């Protein structure tokens, strides 16, 4: 069965950049991407990649001019990153369950377009539970988040009659919650999308919720596919709030971290994924292995720092829909977070395997893995709602604002000082979804020339330095910008490269 890769931290000397740069015509460059240390059997990543004869790449951030200008308070693209669209936003929460179709319950928060004129002063603000599984934490409302820059939303107003609208299904990172992606749902809905963010049973989102690590990869894509089915059913039922709201021909899949794995798996399939089922009547636990089939309903994908390590190269090479691959930059992961080159190869590997003209890769400078959620702001909202200090430490950890992998660092990197990260993510998502789902011409944003002119805080990649198919089931190992690439092997049976 598939085994994941252990990435060992190394130190990269920072010196010369070389000749190649990102944000250029046909540019090649650094990599992003994050991963959670679980695989389909519940084990830890336990292999490795070996650099090629070219050795490590020397990267000088200063001479490459890769520093972020956000600290200087610069505005991007005339300030349009903070705007919302023409629609007001409604919200409804669901516990999606149908024992005849699927044995699990999937929680979902759904944001949808509303005609502004239909709202009144009596329309209640949207309700955002912090713990929809056990209700051991307060329920926040939209007004608790709006002072932090989040778009406003309302609880269950009548949807706009301008639909149907495209659907964006979103799967969160491992142990993460619906509320951790509030920067995505309301903003996309204000531009005419139905956005469903789901929560996975068994993820262990809080210390008091059991975690079923061994089944994480098995259930994630299946949960998302079931949620799509349920929302389409609600859209076709006259007695439902969402009646007539979803355009079944325009569905995108997105997700962060392991949700990014689910996104890639539903688009390209996963040939072999396993779940350990509990023992019955005193017997031994059983392992059941089944493929994840391609979901033909999905017409576009947006993985955010997705766990591409959980898929083989040739599985991702089967992806035949447009893709926007968002991740971290190689340089900041290495120099600020003390990572290894292989920690930062995820976005490059997925982009190289897909290798299509409608596949776009964008890396965010001054971002880490958690920057693709709004977990850091959730700490503040919980505290404002009266969650006591011991509970906050129990949830977030005592090093929440000092750890480089969370919301700060004693090495000088602090993603909380980069307020444009979320606006950059949603701006690129909107440009991509408008172009490929709504067939509106927003493609100029998806170019290296746009990044050069308007977005100095991203690295945009048209192509990759290495996009050959590795022999067998290969692990793509990337070197930033002009440097060489290499291939290390996964410890799995070879199934060969996809047909040419």
Instruction: Compute CA distances 397 → 34, 51, 107, 130, 256, whole Å.
Output: 20, 35, 25, 17, 21
pLDDT, average across residues 462-491:
57
CATH code, 461 = 3.40.50.1820
User: With the C-alpha atoms ordered 216, 256, 261, 68, is the resulting torsion angle positive or negative?
Assistant: negative
Q: Is 150 domain-assigned?
A: yes
Q: Is 13 domain-assigned?
A: no
Question: What are the start-end ranges of the E strands in 295-375?
Answer: 298-304, 323-328, 359-364
The pTM for the full model equals 0.81
pLDDT of residue 50: 30
Tell which wins on pLDDT, 76 or 61: 76
pLDDT of residue 273: 85
pLDDT of residue 42: 27
Distance of CA 224 to the CA centre of its chain: 14
Give the tens place of pLDDT for each residue, 109-120: 999 999 999 999
Q: Is 469 domain-assigned?
A: yes
Q: Is 9 domain-assigned?
A: no
Give the torsion through C-alpha atoms of 90, 95, 97, 102, to 10 deg.
90
Give the tens place of pLDDT for each residue, 259-283: 999 999 999 999 988 777 666 676 7
pLDDT of residue 214: 57
pLDDT of residue 18: 24
pLDDT of residue 89: 98
Q: Is 7 domain-assigned?
A: no
Q: Look at residue 435 and tell me whether its pLDDT is greater than 60.
A: yes
Domain count, the chain: 1
Give the tens place of pLDDT for each residue, 153-168: 999 999 999 999 999 9
pLDDT, average across residues 215-240:
95
Q: Is 327 domain-assigned?
A: yes
Degrees to nearest 5, angle at CA 221 with 96 and 259: 100
Q: Which pLDDT band holds residue 209 (cuts at 50, 70, 90)?
A: confident
Q: Is 256 domain-assigned?
A: yes
pLDDT, average across residues 3-26:
30
Q: What percent of the chain has pLDDT over 70?
A: 68
> Whole domain around residue 228: which residue ranges?
61-489
Q: Average pLDDT of the chain?
A: 76
Q: Is 347 domain-assigned?
A: yes
Q: Look at residue 415 and tell me whether its pLDDT is greater than 60.
A: no
How far apart CA 157 and CA 90 sit, in angstroms, is 6
């Amino acid at each position: 069965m598939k085994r994941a890769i252990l990435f060992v931290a190394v130190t990269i000397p920072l010196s010369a950049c070389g000749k190649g740069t990102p944000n250029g015509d046909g540019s090649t460059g650094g990599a992003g991407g994050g991963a959670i240390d679980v695989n389909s059997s519940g084990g830890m990543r336990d292999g490795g990649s070996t650099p090629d004869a070219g050795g490590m790449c020397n990267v000088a951030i200063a001479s490459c001019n890769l520093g972020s200008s956000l600290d200087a308070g610069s505005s991007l693209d005339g300030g349009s990153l903070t705007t919302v669209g023409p629609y007001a936003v409604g919200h409804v929460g669901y516990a999606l369950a149908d024992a005849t179709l699927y044995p699990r319950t999937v929680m979902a928060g759904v944001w949808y377009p509303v005609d502004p004129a239909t709202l009144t002063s009596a329309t209640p603000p949207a309700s955002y539970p912090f713990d929809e599984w056990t209700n051991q934490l307060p329920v926040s409302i939209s007004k608790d988040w709006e002072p932090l820059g989040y778009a406003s939303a309302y609880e269950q107003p009548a949807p706009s009659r301008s639909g149907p609208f495209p659907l964006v299904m979103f799967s969160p990172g491992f142990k993460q919650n619906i509320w951790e992606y509030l920067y995505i749902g309301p903003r996309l809905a204000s531009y005419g999308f139905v956005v469903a963010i789901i929560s996975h049973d068994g993820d262990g989102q809080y210390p008091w919720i059991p975690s079923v690590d061994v089944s994480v990869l098995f259930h994630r894509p299946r949960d998302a596919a079931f949620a799509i089915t349920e929302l389409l059913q609600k859209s076709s039922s006259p007695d439902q709030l969402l009646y007539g709201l979803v355009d079944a021909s325009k569905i995108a899949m997105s997700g962060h971290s392991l949700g990014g794995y689910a996104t890639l798996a539903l688009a390209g399939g996963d040939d072999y994924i396993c779940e350990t089922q509990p023992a019955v009547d005193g017997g031994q636990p059983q392992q059941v292995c089944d493929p994840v089939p391609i979901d033909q309903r999905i017409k576009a994908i947006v993985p955010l720092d997705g766990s591409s390590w959980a898929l083989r190269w040739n599985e991702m090479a089967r992806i035949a829909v447009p893709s926007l691959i968002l991740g971290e930059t190689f340089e900041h992961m290495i120099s600020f977070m003390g990572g290894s080159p292989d920690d930062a190869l995820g976005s490059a590997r997925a982009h190289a395997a897909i290798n299509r003209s409608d596949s776009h890769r964008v890396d965010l400078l001054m971002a880490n893995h958690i920057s693709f959620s709004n977990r850091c702001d959730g700490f503040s909202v919980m505290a404002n709602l009266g969650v006591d200090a011991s509970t906050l430490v129990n949830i977030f950890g005592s090093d929440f604002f000092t750890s480089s992998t969370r919301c700060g660092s004693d090495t000088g990197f602090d993603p909380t000082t980069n307020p444009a990260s979320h606006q950059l993510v949603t701006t690129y998502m909107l440009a991509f979804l408008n172009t490929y789902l709504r067939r509106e011409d927003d493609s100029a944003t998806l170019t290296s020339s746009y990044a050069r002119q308007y977005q100095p805080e991203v690295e945009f990649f048209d192509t990759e330095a290495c996009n050959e198919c590795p022999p067998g089931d290969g692990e793509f190992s990337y070197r930033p910008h002009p440097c060489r690439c290499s291939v290390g092997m996964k410890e799995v049976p070879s199934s060969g490269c996809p047909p040419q």
